[in-house]
Amino acid sequence: MNLAKKRGLKIINGDAQKLPFKRNYFSLVTLFNVLYHKNVKDEKMVIKEVNRVLKNNGYFLITDSAFNFLKSTHDRAVFGNKRFTLPYLKNILEKEGFKIIKSSYCFFLLFPLIFIKRKILDKFIKNNDSDLNQFPKIINWFLTKFFLFEAWLLKYIDFPIGSSLVILAKKIN
């Protein structure tokens, strides 16, 4: 919030389950790893609220954590509660009047490493921290290029599995 304030941006605190905006207010609503949070008690209510504040033909972009079997100490460290599957979220979105434009899992290319870390290594290495760490610049550079390549691939294919998911939907009701 401090960075936004330094840049002169207006900050509005609110509850995702009761957004402080009037009906049909936005052309685009984004939720980046929001539904996953422990303070979100009902993801369906959040999606209904997004529908309420989104203009007709407006877009809704969601990213969130995928697959409950990947839950780990990382989730506890970042206050995560629930992970999702594409079919589950797509079903809710369609019932709420959204048309799915694009949906895929992401971090597909690193999924085997994430799976091994969370399901095997975490059993032997006790840690209560997040998986997110500051890496040396060369590793950060490599990972950035790696993820940019995966983002480019997403233009052409949908990944069948990954540690996160992304959905772009359009309000049609």
Q: Could you state, in order of their start, the residue ranges of all structural domains in the chain?
A: 2-171
Euclidean distance between CA atoms 100 and 161, whole angstroms: 18
What's the whole-model pTM score? 0.88
The residue behind tokens 């079997």 is: 69
Return the number of other C-beta atoms located less than 10 Å from residue 117's C-beta: 16
pLDDT of 2 reads 76
- Asked if residue 95 has pLDDT above 80, the reply is yes
Across residues 135-143, what is the average pLDDT? 86
Antiparallel, parallel or unpaired: β 26-32 and 164-171: unpaired
User: What average pLDDT does the segment 109-125 reach?
Assistant: 80
Q: Are 60 and 170 in contact (CB under 8 A)?
A: yes
**Mean pLDDT of all residues in 19-32:** 95
Residue 1, pLDDT > 70, answer no
Q: Tell me: domain 2-171, CATH 3.40.50.150, correct?
A: yes
Please determine, for residue 27, whether its predicted confidence score (pLDDT) is greater than 90: yes
Q: 55: pLDDT confidence band, cut at 50, 70 and 90? A: very high
Residues near 70 by beta carbon (within 8 Å), at least 6 away in sequence: 83, 114, 115, 118, 119, 163
